[in-house]
Amino acid sequence: MTTPFGDRLAAAISKKGTPILLGLDPHLDLLPSPFDGAADAHRDVNERAELIGDFCCQLVDVCADRVPAVKPQSAFFEQLGSAGVAAFERVCDHARAAGLLVVGDVKRGDIASTADAYARAFFDPPMGIGACDAITVSPYLGADTLEPFAKAAKTAGGGLFVLVRTSNPGSGAWQGHGAPPVSELVAAGVHALGADTLGASGYSSIGAVCGATHPDQLTTWRQLMPHAFLLLPGYGAQGATAKDVSGAFRPDGTGAIVASSRGIAFAYRTGHTDWKTAASEALDHMRSDLAGALPGGA
Amino acid sequence: MTTPFGDRLAAAISKKGTPILLGLDPHLDLLPSPFDGAADAHRDVNERAELIGDFCCQLVDVCADRVPAVKPQSAFFEQLGSAGVAAFERVCDHARAAGLLVVGDVKRGDIASTADAYARAFFDPPMGIGACDAITVSPYLGADTLEPFAKAAKTAGGGLFVLVRTSNPGSGAWQGHGAPPVSELVAAGVHALGADTLGASGYSSIGAVCGATHPDQLTTWRQLMPHAFLLLPGYGAQGATAKDVSGAFRPDGTGAIVASSRGIAFAYRTGHTDWKTAASEALDHMRSDLAGALPGGA
């Protein structure tokens, strides 16, 4: 039987000594040479998709020894159609072969048998897009629509990260509506949904996305979902610092993963000429930045 | 310049004389022979994807003269990976070539440049998955995250259907939370977002998904979003009747589209041996059912 996702993530973070989740977001307009040809609308779409796939695979190779997990963003692959989706599949396979956990950032959400089909797409590798260890899901449709995803995840030893409070400036308008706010109801739903996946690590396989751009709320999320891994977007490019994310961690320095996408992948744009060296240095910088600010010296 | 989506949808409904939105949901376990080979996990995935694509294209051919629009459900294609996504592309192209509007049921939602990338995937045919006239989007991340989708839709003469209140039993828990409920805030957002797309038909290009399984609420949605097309799931298999959906329409019988997927596509399962005849008869039945119950005799 596959080890539950929560335990696998805890082990991977411990092994690599950092809670960094490397985002793989192949923005067509930000790619370094020779991958920048992917932005050329006159080129064959299969060639363009090859380029974004190659870039992400090489970025994985640069960082694989120093991160526990990667997060490919589906949108940047889907924008190149089915050829792009094939590149997404290849990048997932490559990252897993490099020993990394793959969190597919797909933010899917739908009802009943449709949710089942989405779950198969990401947790049933012989069949679907596959090869994800976990995916992000959107909760708007209701708790009942998260259950098929959770069931499929558990069967596969996979995990979910449910959107609770996102990192964008307008996230509060609807997520923060009501008393208690909707986002707190969703957090309670995440806690309940993960109860039967609690592993030996003390963590469940059902996590939550909580924007690091709301640092004052992170301790609330930590308390409402004591066994959930919190996935924190917003570090770096969106303005959150290592100190900002610290409230999402337990006193022993575990329990959250900090996403960084363009801050590492496109670090070359701030002056370096060699994109791999720039990415590698940016990763080292983020590792020490977090190590210095997180509780427990993790 | 492309005619705005709202006007195109209004014209298509008027031309075909019915507000039916034909769902294209290739459930692997419900397909008739010879397409049922798609459920065979031992078969090559490309062959399986061909089969679901063929089924949907033939279903389009059976119904094209009597429906204004189709709604392919992305999940049932994604479950076969990139090969399935290629079939989705083919089905969209086929439906458009048959003169139908295509509403991609993808329920995407993300922030900023990621939302841009998703919008390109569905509104920029030369580049992405493309070939959709409109898509469904999920609002959990906030109104600011709907704007990139709306902008891309407007540029392409396309449309959006924003999830407001879904048809599943648990939809109320979070969508209905607060006073006023979150879903009403989203409805107000839909109305605002569509204001600058109001066309000659009196409809905007930004519509809303409102479950027909909540008939008592449909008049509220009609009032809160006077210029929006309401996309109504829940008719038939989920229990809503023609009478139930009537509150979503204006007194002249316009303003909503009623989705039906398995009630037409898989009508053969209730006894017919010929799936095309069964689908065709089910479609005729739905047409008369709606014609008899909607205001204005539409």
Instruction: List, for residues A221-265, the tens digit of each pLDDT value.
Output: 999 999 999 999 999 988 999 999 999 999 999 999 999 999 999
pLDDT band at A298 (very low <50, low <70, confident <90, very high): very low
Give yes or no for residue B128 having a pLDDT over 80. no
Most confident of A57-61, A130-134, B40-44: A57-61
Closest listed residue to residue A80, CA positions, set B102, B46, B117: B117
CA B116 to CA B271: how far, in whole Å? 46
pLDDT band at A271 (very low <50, low <70, confident <90, very high): confident
CA B70 to CA B73: how far, in whole Å? 10
pLDDT digits (tens, 9 = 90+) for A52-84: 999 999 999 999 999 999 999 999 999 999 999
> With an 8 Å Cβ cutoff, are B89 and A82 in contact?
yes
> With an 8 Å Cβ cutoff, are B109 and A108 in contact?
no
Give yes or no for residue B197 having a pLDDT over 60. yes
Strands B206-210 and B69-72: unpaired
Give yes or no for residue A273 having a pLDDT over 60. yes
Give yes or no for residue A128 having a pLDDT over 90. no
Q: Which of residues 58-97 of A touch B (CB under 8 A)?
A: 73, 75-76, 78-86, 88-89
Give yes or no for residue B297 having a pLDDT over 90. no
B276, exposed or middle or buried, with CB in 10 Å at 0-12, 13-18, 19+?
middle
Structure tokens belonging to residue B260: 């039906």
> With an 8 Å Cβ cutoff, are B82 and A76 in contact?
no
Strands A256-260 and B69-72: unpaired
Tell me if residue A35 falls in helix, strand or coil.
Answer: helix
Complex prediction ipTM: 0.97
Query: How many domains does one find in chain A?
Result: 1
> With an 8 Å Cβ cutoff, are A112 and B144 in contact?
no
Averaged pLDDT for residues B1-27: 96
pLDDT digits (tens, 9 = 90+) for B224-256: 999 999 999 999 988 999 999 999 999 999 999
Strands B101-108 and B159-165: unpaired
pLDDT digits (tens, 9 = 90+) for A15-62: 999 999 999 999 999 999 999 999 999 999 999 999 999 999 999 999
Residue A297, pLDDT score:
54
Q: Does B109 touch chain A (CB under 8 A)?
A: yes
CA B69 to CA A72: how far, in whole Å? 33
Q: Does B131 touch chain A (CB under 8 A)?
A: no
Placement of tokens 């290629």 in the chain: B86
Q: What CATH number corresponds to the domain at position B111?
A: 3.20.20.70
The tally of CA atoms less than 13 A away on the side-chain side of residue B271 is 2
Angle, helices B45-63 vs B81-97, to 10°: value is 20
Indicate the DSSP class of residue A104: E
DSSP-assigned beta bridge partners for residue B22? B70, B260
Per the annotation, the verdict on A71 as an active-site residue is: no
Residue B1, pLDDT score:
62
pLDDT band at B29 (very low <50, low <70, confident <90, very high): very high
In a domain, A298, yes or no: no
Averaged pLDDT for residues B158-177: 97
The 3-state DSSP composition of chain A as helix, strand, coil percent (nearest 5) reads 50, 15, 35
CA A12 to CA A144: how far, in whole Å? 31
Q: Does A108 touch chain B (CB under 8 A)?
A: yes
Residue A124, pLDDT score:
78
Q: Quote the percentage of chain A above a pLDDT of 70.
A: 97
Placement of tokens 């449910």 in the chain: A162
Domain that holds residue B21: 5-297
Residue B271, pLDDT score:
84
Q: Which string of b and e fits A71-97 if b means at least 16 CB within 10 Å?
A: bbbbbbbbbbbbbbbbbbbbbbebbbe
Give yes or no for residue B134 having a pLDDT over 60. yes
Averaged pLDDT for residues B267-279: 91
Contacts of A223 (CB under 8 A, 6+ apart): none
Averaged pLDDT for residues A139-164: 96
Give yes or no for residue B258 having a pLDDT over 70. yes
Averaged pLDDT for residues A157-175: 97
> Average pLDDT, whole number, for chain B?
95
| Residues of B with a known catalytic role | 107
Residue B94, pLDDT score:
97
Averaged pLDDT for residues A258-281: 94
Placement of tokens 């939809």 in the chain: B171
Residue A1, pLDDT score:
62
Distance from CA of B18 to the nearest CA of A (A): 26
Amino acid at A103: V
